[in-house]
Structure 1
Amino acid sequence: MKIKEWRIMKLAIVNNDLGSGGAEKLIYDMALELKKDKSLKFDVIILNSKNEIYKKELEKENINVIALDSKYGIYNPFHIFKLRKILKNYDIVHAHVFPSQYWVGFSKKILPKNIKFLTTEHNTTNNRRNKWIFYYVDRFVYRSFERIICISDLAKDNLREWIKDEKICKKVKTINNGIKLSKYSKEISNLRENLNLDEKDIVVTMIARFTDQKDHKTLIRAMENLPKNYKLLLLGEGEKEEEYKKLVNKLKIENRIKFLGFRKDIPDILKITDIGVLSSNFEGLSIAALEIMASGCPLIGSDVEGVRDLIKNIGILYEHKNIKDLSEKIFDLGENIDFREIIGKKCLKASQEYNVESTVEKYKDIYWELKGR
């Protein structure tokens, strides 16, 4: 039966781009689930289409993506006025990461009052919180949103501590990130041969954008201390990629580290992975970590906020930025298959709490609550 037009919710999802980051992966997975709901029409709006990995994937699924492309980049405040022209056509506006979060918040000031706004806070901290001026700007922006969704309880607690505004804090709640768990339960793949990996190789994998936040340098330098049969697969892309390739060449370990770029076959790669690593300086609730865990891989993570809270007593933590400690933790797992299996099973069990279907249902409840059924 056809749903009456007035009962259909019109939703705008706004983000900087659709590159290979965790927020973008969440938007992609959520969009595929939202598409199944006939009572909802939505578009994904991005500030920049240069980094368009998931843009192409969404368009293959006939999901509309609107790019605001500006020659001045994503930090151009004129996006506020571009957004105003577009967002007036929606019931609900859902903003994601900075600076799109800012531009959406500012645009609300010049949009009809009946449009409802929410945002998702994807990290436990950010660089803005190191500068006092952003304390006041953040408070101004967050007041624009009817709901502020944090991807973990720690992200929620840290945001409330930063904002220190009772009215804003009442709007904050947690919805954990989720992934499509069924994708990661496949049989063993034959990718080892395709990637020129020997059966005796211990395969270490990290999935992350090449940015300072992810601290690939510590992992790359840790590989220098490990035996030659330890091979590292780096999945992702980003502005630091060339710098890290130069570091690998300088250390003369280029035959042991493969830069694989963005991959659609992450579940297959994780099935040939012996050890997953997340070496970040900070995290929210890492999609990459959930992918590794859902594949039954043992996960080693830096002992920092967002990583510690996810894998403490489940995976293995190493001292943040301690190259020697990381290399020893990798070696201990690599040399003991029984230990790997024990940690891998614990990671797999813990990952089952984070399915994207549940995440989407919780977001939909908030969308409808804001719109009013």
Structure 2
Amino acid sequence: MQIIYVITKAERGGAQLHVLNLIQHQLKQGHNVFLLCGTEGFLTEKATVLGAQVILCPEIIHPIHPLHDIKALFVIRQHLRRLAPNLVHAHSSKAGILTRLACYIEKIPCVFTAHGWAFSEGASLGQRLLGKALEKWIARLGQSIITVSEYDRQLAISKKVAKPSQLFTIHNGIESITFPSQSENVRPKNTLIMVARFAKPKNPKLLLEAMPLLPKNVHCILVGDGPSQSQCKKLTTKLNIESRIEFTGESDNIPALLGSASIFILLSHHEGLPLAIIEAMRSGLPVVASDVGGIPELVEDGVTGFLVPRYAKPKTVASLVLKILNDSELLEDMGKAARKRYLMHFTEKIMLDKINNVYQNVIDNY
């Protein structure tokens, strides 16, 4: 089978890691895999190493504009005609809209994964209105849509963006890893960690503002890169917490970093279903995270961690972190519960089996 994956940007992020997992799986199954991407970066480099054929399509990264979008649609259609795939799987809003339209015109089976909607709460009013209108229009073509959380599926249904029969919830999943026994892997008791892109929706500023309210022996590891990183570094200086914060930048060794921490933190304003939280659960970490998007489907409040309101105050975050840190039994129990929940619901195999079923259903019924 010949499969094309299409995504707007190659920068490291949850959607890109998800696509990389799909590419790796399909290559192992003996399929021919192509990646059509608007930029070069993390995803294109990794996909090339795996053996996928990468095609750059910079036309799809422009802001929405009739002339640019007509050109991008033309280029995508050219690639579809040349490669004649059995299936196309699109990711991210801009690439998703253009690719679904191109596949409809060229009569090629297509699946779209929504890694959160542009009209989710937390996005700007203009973004919500435009995103809803475009998604509602393109969904009329009738193609299957995978949502990474039931929250996103229900949101699309409530906004009448797509028919319920078009929408399939498939939670993200990641590869299982065997970790050392507790006796071999004693965790630090006072280390927090956040793995996320430094950007406004991830809200790293709130975690930093909570740090002065925690004991001075509590440290924090911030993993990732992005446009707001320099602002966050300035904030650590302003708050006089530089010695307690470690900025690692991007890392290919996330499991080891998670293994050096005691609690995972993610305080986003809006989310789909963050892979970073699933990685933390796999590592047996309690999670303190925002009650937004699909996060409540990952974090069982009071069992595997704690949920905080979207616009929580630093005091709220600090109090929940201290509640876990000050109770070693709770810390251990939450970590074990998180690991168990990952194994039951969020492994890579569970996700891939469900996605393959959607693929087969789409091809058989086209």
What TM bracket, shorter-length normalisation?
0.7 to 0.9
Deviation at 1:280?
1.1
Query: 1:297 offset after TM fit, Å?
Result: 0.8
TM-score, with structure 2 as normaliser:
0.88
Please state if 1:23 is matched with 2:11. Answer: no
Instruction: Please name the residue that 1:319 is paired with.
Output: 309
Q: 2:160 matched to 1:170?
A: no
State the AA in 1 paired with 2:49.
K
Mapped pair 1:53 → 2:42: yes
What do residues 336-364 of structure 1 show as CA deviations (whole Å, max 9, x unaligned)?
Answer: 22211011011111111211122122212
Alignment of structure 1 residues 151-170 onto 2, 5 Å: 151-163=148-160, 168-170=163-165
Give the secondary-structure state (helix, strand or coil) at the position aligned to 2:226. coil
Corresponding residue for residue 109 of structure 2: 116
- Cα distance between partner residues in 1 of 2:183 and 2:224: 20
* Contact preservation (8 Å) 2:80, 2:106: no
After superposition, where does 1:352-363 map in structure 2 within 5 Å? Answer: 352=343, 353-363=345-355
Residues in 1 aligned to 2:287 and 2:106: alpha-carbon distance in whole angstroms: 47
Provide the aligned length of Structure 1 versus Structure 2: 351
Matched letter for residue 297 of structure 1: L
Superposed CA deviations along residues 33-82 of structure 1, whole A, max 9, x for unmatched, are 221112x2211111111xx1232222222222222135974654232222
Deviations 1:254-277 (A, max 9, x none): 211111111111011111111101
TM-align CA RMSD: 2.5
Q: How far apart in 1 are the matches of 2:61 and 2:294?
A: 33
SS at match of 1:144: coil
Equivalent-residue separation in structure 2 for 1:202 and 1:185 (angstroms): 20
After superposition, the Cα gap between the structure-2 partners of 1:71 and 1:363, relative to the gap in structure 1 and judged at 3 Å, is closer
Q: For each residue in 1:74-93, what CA deviation from the matched residue of structure 2 results, as whole angstroms up to 9, or x when unmatched?
A: 65423222211112221211
Instruction: Indicate which of 335, 341, 355 corresponds to 1:344.
Output: 335
Q: 1:303 to 1:133 in 2, by over 3 A?
A: closer
- For structure 2, the 5+ residue unaligned runs are none
Structure 1 unmatched runs, 5+: 1-8, 193-198
Higher relative contact order (CA 8 A, sep 6+): 1
1:259-315 C-alpha deviation (Å, 9 max, x unpaired): 111111101111111110111112222111110011001111122232223213432
Residue in 2 that maps onto 1:92: 87
Task: State which drifts further: 288-297 or 77-86.
Answer: 77-86
Give 1:231's aligned residue: 219
Mapped contact 1:188–1:271 kept (Cα < 8 A): no
Higher helix proportion: 2
Identity of aligned residues (%): 24
Alignment partner of 1:243 is 2:231: yes
Q: Give, in whole Å, the separation in 2 of the partners of 1:189 and 1:237.
A: 33
What is the alpha-carbon distance in structure 1 between the residues aligned to residue 281 and residue 356 of structure 2?
26
Retained in 2: the 8 A contact 1:95–1:119? Answer: yes
Deviation at 1:163, TM superposition (A): 2.5
Structure 1 segment 70-109 matched on structure 2, within 5 A = 70=59, 73=62, 76-77=68-69, 78-88=71-81, 89=83, 90-109=85-104
Q: Write the distance in 1 (CA, Å) between the matches of 2:63 and 2:77.
A: 16
Distance, in Å, in 2 between the alignment partners of 1:19 and 1:72 is: 12
**Cα distance in 1 for residues equivalent to 2:20 and 2:125:** 28
1:245 match: secondary structure: helix
Whole-angstrom CA distance in 2 between matches of 1:279 and 1:35 = 35
Structure 1 Cα separation of the partners of residues 170 and 296 of structure 2: 18
Q: Distance in 1 between matches of 2:337 and 2:182?
A: 19
Alignment-derived partner of residue 284 in structure 1: 272
Change in Cα spacing, 1:185 to 1:73, as seen in structure 2 (3 Å) is farther
In structure 2, the residue corresponding to 1:20 is in which secondary structure?
A: coil
